Amino acid sequence: MEAGHRGRHVDAPMATKKTTRKTPEPTLRHVWLAGLGLIAVARREAIGAANDAVGKLQAARQQAEALAGQAQRDVLGRLADVREQGEASVERFSADVEARLQPVLAKLGLKKPARKTATRTRKKPAAKRTRAAAPRKPAAKRPARRSRA
């Protein structure tokens, strides 16, 4: 024998045996194990899909809340602007109506005439006293008109 080879002859061909494996026929045990494997894989996939869906739902909810909050802030800001404009318009309208009614109310004796800022230093002569007007009598009621049909 040569050095480095133990118990083998280098020149001797190795015998190769071809083994043919036959696929065993499925038995009830094989079917049972395959079913258990299928159930385990399906369960794992379902849990993963459910977790993904929960994550997507939470992200969508957070995005919806952010959008709703932004929309609410926008609407409240616009309402505040409209309210300020409305209040300013009402104040101008009220001042205008009051200024126009001032002489009428003063003539009726319901309100003292508004004092305007004095641009003149002269005093007006005292007004003559006039007799107060007698209260008016209520108007007589007229019979209702009949419409022609």
If one counts every other C-beta atom within 10 angstroms of the C-beta of residue 95, the result is 10
The tens digit of pLDDT for each residue in 5-42 reads 555 555 555 666 777 778 878 899 999 999 999 999 99
pTM of the model: 0.38
- Tokens found for residue 131: 């007799």
Which residue type is seen at 123? K
The tens digit of pLDDT for each residue in 91-107 reads 999 999 988 888 888 88
CB 9 within 8 A of CB 1: yes
User: Which residue do the tokens 């005093």 mark?
Assistant: 123
CB 94 within 8 A of CB 85: no
